Structure 1
Amino acid sequence: MQIKKNPKANLENYTKIFMQLGLVLALLIVYLAIEKKTYDRVIGDLGPVVLNMDDEEQTIEIEQVKPPEPKTPPPPTPDKIEVVEDEVEVEETVIESTETDEDEAIEVEEIIEVEEEEEVMEDVPFAIIEDVPIYPGCKGSKAELKACLQDKITKHVNRKFNSDLASDLGLAPGVKKIFVMFKIDKNGNITDVMARAPHNRLRDEAIRVVKSLPKMIPGKQRGRPVGVKYSLPIAFKVE
C-alpha cells in the first residue's frame, strides 16, 4: 500500500519565506541598535564635603610649664656695730693715694719693634703691569713708554736676526713663525728666554737675538720693582 504525503505538510515550500522573514528581522535589530541614543551619566553636585576628624585624631595642645620663680635671697646680715666710748681712742685708717707724681720715673719694659715681612710679588704679565719696563731712550707717559718699548724690541730683532738662515735650512716656502718668551727681571736684565720654532737653529737664533737686548729700567707693580713676562712672536717669509 502506497502512503501519499499531503502537499501542505511539506515545509520546503516555506523555506524562502522563512529566510526573508529572518533577514528582515536581523536588519531591524541592527537598525534599532544603531539608532539607540546613549546619555552621559551626570552626578549631581553635592556641595563642599566636610570631613570630620575622628576623636582619636584631635590636635594635642601642649601646655607651657612655667619655670619656678627664683627665691629672693635674704638680705645680708648687717655687720656688728661696735659702740666705742668717747674716752677710747679710735685708730683712723689711712688710705694711700694711688696717683703717681710727675717727677717719679716710670720703668717701661723694652719695646721690641717687629719688622713686617716684605710682600713677595711674583712676575707680572706685560699686559697688566702698572709701570712697564723702560727701554733706554724711551720717554713720555705710560702709554708712550709702552708703545716705545714694543717698537724698540721689534726693531732690535729685525736688525739682529739672521733672516738668511731660513733659506739655508731648506724650509718650504711660506710664512714661518717663531714664538719667544722671556722675562725682564726686577733688575732690568733679560732672563728665562724660551723659544719655539720650526727648526732648532731658528730657535737658537731667536734666543740669541733676545738675549742681546739692552738692560732696561725694571717694571713696577704697586710702586715696587717686579719681573715682567714678555711674549714676542717673530714672523718671516721663506721664498
Structure 2
Amino acid sequence: MLAKKSHKAEIGAYSKIFFQLGLLLSLVVIYIAIEWRTFDRTVSELSATNIQEEEIMDIPITERILEVKPPPPPPPAPEVIEIVADEKEIEETILESTETDESEYVEVIEMDLIEEVVEEEQVEQDIPFAIIEDPPVFPGCKGTKEQKKKCLQEKITQHVSKNYNTGLSQDLGLTPGKKKVYVVFKIDKTGNISEARARGPHARLEKEALRVVNMLPKLTPGKQRGIPVSVSYTLPITLQVQI
C-alpha cells in the first residue's frame, strides 16, 4: 500500500518565514556585537596596611573577701522560777467595792443656787490715740469715728493756739527759729485730763504747755471693745522765736 503525502507536511511553505527569522536574529547579534564596550582595568598596588597588634592585657582575678560577722550573743539565762509548796498559804488581795451604800447621805446641790460669775474682759489700760477703736469725743464733735477723731485734734489745736502765751518764748533769750514743746497726757476713763508731762527747750515753756493742756474741757472717754479706757495723747506745740 502506498503512503500518501500530507499537504500539511510541506516545508517549502514555511521556508520564507524561517529565513526571515534567521536574518532578524543575525542582525540582532551583529548589533549587540557592535554596541558592546570593553574597559581596561588597572589594578593598583596594594598599599601596606598598618595592622596594629592587639594588646592583650592580663586582668588579675580578684578575690571577694566576705566580712565574717561574729556569732550572735547567746540568749540570756532564764529567770529562776521559785516553786511554792502546796502547804504555803498565799495572801490574796481583797478589792474593796467603790459603790456607795443607799444609806449614805449624798448632798445634792441645786442648780438655782449656783451663781454665774461673768469675768470682765481685761483691756489694756492705756490705749494710744492712733489705734483706739472709739476715740474720745470733744464737746460739740459729731459724725463718724474718723470725723470725731479729726474734730478732736482740731479742737485741741485751736485751744492751745488761743490760750498759749506765745510771747513767752521771746522773753527767754532763746536762739531764733522754731522751737517745739511736746506734751504727753491721758484722757482717763472719766474723760478728764491727767498725768500731763511736757518736754521742751525751756522749763517755763514746759510749764505754760501744761497749764494750757490742763485747761481742756471734760471729754467723752474713749472705748476699746465697748469698755471705757484711758487714752494716751501726744501734742506737739511749735513756737517761732524771732530776733
TM range, normalised to the smaller chain? 0.5 to 0.7
Indicate the residue corresponding to 1:229 in structure 2: 232
Partners of 2:190 and 2:69 lie apart in 1 by 88
The Cα offsets for residues 91-137 of structure 1, whole Å up to 9 and x where unpaired, read as xxxxxxxxxxxxxxxx7536220423323421100011000000000
Tell me how far 1:209 sits from its aligned partner: 0.3
**Structure 2 counterpart of 1:112, from 101, 106, 114:** 114
Moved >6 Å (runs of 4+): none
State the 1:223 CA deviation. 0.6
Q: Identify the match of residue 175 of structure 2 among 172, 175, 187.
A: 172
2:142 paired with 1:129? no
Kindly provide the amino acid, as one letter, of the partner of residue 226 in structure 2.
G
Q: 1:154 to 1:112 in 2, by over 3 A?
A: same
State whether structure 2 residue 67 is matched by structure 1 residue 54.
yes
Structure 1 pair 61–144 and aligned structure 2 pair: CA distance change class (3 A): farther
**CA 1:234–1:108 in 2, change beyond 3 Å: closer, same or farther?**
same
Q: Letter of the aligned partner of 1:111 in structure 2? A: L
**2:17 aligned residue:** none
Distance 1:62 1:163 in 2: 101
The equivalent of 1:213 in structure 2 is 216
Q: Distance in 2 between matches of 1:143 and 1:127?
A: 11
Q: Distance between the aligned counterparts of 2:229 and 2:142, measured in 1?
A: 20
In the TM superposition, residue 53 of structure 1 has moved relative to its aligned partner by 3.3
How many Å separate the matches in 1 of 2:73 and 2:128?
Answer: 70
Instruction: Extract unaligned runs of 5+ from structure 1.
Output: 1-43, 64-106
The within-5 A match list for 1:92-111 is: 109=110, 111=113
| Rounded Cα–Cα distance in structure 2 between residues aligned with 1:221 and 1:203 | 31
The equivalences for 1:1-239 within 5 A come to: 52-56=65-69, 109=110, 111-121=113-123, 122-239=125-242
Higher radius of gyration, 1 or 2: 2
CA distance in 2 between partners of 1:192 and 1:158 (Å): 21
Comparing 112-121 with 206-215, greater Cα deviation is found at 112-121
Shift of 1:50: 8.3
Q: How far, CA to CA, are the matches of 2:194 and 2:165 in structure 1?
A: 21
Cα RMSD for the two superposed structures = 2.7
Alignment length (residue pairs): 150
TM-score (norm 2): 0.56
C-alpha change, 1:238 and 1:129, in structure 2 (3 Å) is: same
Q: Partners of 1:50 and 1:150 in 2: how far apart?
A: 95
State the TM-score, normalized to the length of structure 1: 0.57
